Structure 1
């Protein structure tokens, strides 16, 4: 059973870090490493047992992985087409299609390298496979931990509920995406009010170049039209990005109560990245997510993952360079 020791130690480290601070991308990496080590240990035991059943199970797992890649490509491709039909052909709506093409490209490179076995193709294949495995591991870790984070319980008490803006439809109207955040904020506010004093709700969002009024004003109007008390709404109307949403809302909360606690509300695909930003900025609160249309989720999740990669660009660039170096060494050795 010692073969499972690394997985157990990594999982214990993950649990310890979760108790201390759940808003860390390192938590996702630790959980992914624990799962990877556990899978590798299980595969080792199956293959080293020498039994026919062990070999069959191991072969079935490998075959399942290959089928999974094929299914993933098909789903990404279909989702990309649906995004284009429903949301238009902007670059941000093409991420699912681009993801499908990248997977196909890597598979084609690896197969070509295995068939031709020329030094250049082997080097390119090794580098491409290494980069693909690294990014796939990070993406799966991100998705699994984001799912887990979104289901953790929020604090029993909070002084503020902060709703992050997301743009207006036609310059004046709250779109369905933002409406889901506001409705979720109302639910959270009601839950917190039942546990103690009613918190203040901060509608956070400035005015974009194509908007006739600040997002926060439209958000406040949307809430009051549905019976939310106007005297419990604070408007933060200067922000234009998620980071500014959090920074300017933090300033409002600290001015009123330096020891504040808050709950931040956004969409479920955005919750974990917003939590990472909140921790970096020093906002004292966790993030909860509202539901998002199923067709919109894959593309939005890829976009959020790309933003997280950029946030940790130094580490990721260094790792990518290592895989490129591995490809160069494979080329030279060949």
Structure 2
């Protein structure tokens, strides 16, 4: 075991941690978790790379290659699920690399990292689908206790019930079951497995997208609307979106002084007394935002229209290559960024915090919407898999 590299690692990591902490502490939004997590990842990759190089091998280049694939794909276009797949692929490859590094270097730190990853995998495998079902029922109970019992708020409960039925069915279907009984269960398992992998990729990139750091040189910030209380006042959820935008507005004003205008985007629903944009404007005025810094887009009824109509307002201002961001709740900004791209609007999102208990339900809703957006692609992939599995099953029946 090399003691000197470990000593220098602890030294430069501690120094970096302290400098980052001091720097971010002075910011309006410290975001210590993001910066410290990024620094930890860089420090560990650097340590394992140097340690292996000292041993005369360079296999660390393999996981670095996969990280580079993710990084350049993300830099080129942030809002696509491919980036989630590439990042997860990097994690898997890096996990395999840790196994190799543990065996060849016998380093204490690398062995500790491997042990931590191993425990996480074992816990996930142990809890498995039963643990997931228990969590979903618990979360559904919390959501029903604190929110309205609409279909949109019952997604975790519906998923828990569906998985419970699946577990019961598979428990009674044994390997000795007739092929015409086992085949549908196999196809159902395949579908759930595929959807799980797609969801993991979606969730990964949705989480990574939370850490956008737009430069404080923006010209416009679009605030996406939502339903109103009694048809005229912003809800706490919508207020958090506006507060997030106001925080960015004030931080930019302090740091660069670059002028920034709000675009309050939201039309009037059939049960609303005023357009959402008007209610949002009133809330912003009450928070001290000057009237002249607020533009209204009061015709949209969907996120895509939010982006499309807001782009028309931006184009009408006559600015060449206007710099634009948008604000919404954290679970929503990834899908909203996809709509921005479809509306030919070059804009990244910043996310307002959402109550933790509500996030599973919210991400499930976003995932369902993402599946609907790409339904033809997913149907084609599942169709091909169904045909292959069915053909193999029938072939085995014929041979037997």
TM-score range, shorter-chain basis? 0.7 to 0.9
- What TM-score, normalized to structure 2? 0.74
Q: Distance in 2 between matches of 1:319 and 1:272?
A: 23
Match of 1:81 in 2: 141
Match of 2:246 among 186, 191, 207: 186
Match of 1:170 in 2: 230
Q: Distance in 2 between matches of 1:241 and 1:258?
A: 27
CA contact (8 A) 1:6 1:34 kept: no
Task: Show CA shifts across 1:214-265 (max 9, x none).
Answer: 1101100011012111110001000111111111001100111241111100
Cα 1:28–1:303 change in 2 (3 A) is: same
Q: CA RMSD in A?
A: 2.7
Match of 1:235 in 2: 296
Larger CA deviation: 60-69 vs 318-327: 60-69
Larger radius of gyration: 2
Q: Distance in 2 between matches of 1:206 and 1:60?
A: 46
Q: Distance in 2 between matches of 1:189 and 1:59?
A: 43
How far is the alpha carbon of 1:62 from its aligned partner? 5.1
Mapping 1:122-137, distance limit 5 Å: 122-137=182-197
Match of 1:24 in 2: 80
Relative contact order (alpha carbons < 8 A, sep ≥ 6): 1 or 2 greater?
1
Task: Show CA shifts across 1:78-132 (max 9, x none).
Answer: 2212223333332211110122123333333444333543212331232122211
Larger CA deviation: 70-79 vs 281-290: 70-79
Aligned with 2:356: secondary structure?
A: coil
Match of 2:273 among 212, 232, 249: 212
Task: Show CA shifts across 1:155-211 (max 9, x none).
Answer: 231100110001101111111000000111100111222323221111101100000
Larger CA deviation: 62-71 vs 152-161: 62-71
CA contact (8 A) 2:221 2:325 kept: yes
Mapping 1:259-298, distance limit 5 Å: 259-298=321-360
Q: Say whether residues 1:203 and 2:261 are aligned partners.
A: no
How far is the alpha carbon of 1:326 from its aligned partner? 3.7
Q: Say whether residues 1:13 and 2:13 are aligned partners.
A: no
Cα 1:15–1:109 change in 2 (3 A) is: farther
Cα 1:85–1:60 change in 2 (3 A) is: closer
Q: Distance in 2 between matches of 1:329 and 1:58?
A: 37
Aligned residues: 325
Q: Distance in 1 between matches of 2:119 and 2:279?
A: 57
Mapping 1:244-323, distance limit 5 Å: 244-256=305-317, 257-323=319-385
- 5+ long unaligned stretches in structure 1: 47-53
Q: Distance in 1 between matches of 2:237 and 2:183?
A: 45
Match of 1:94 in 2: 154
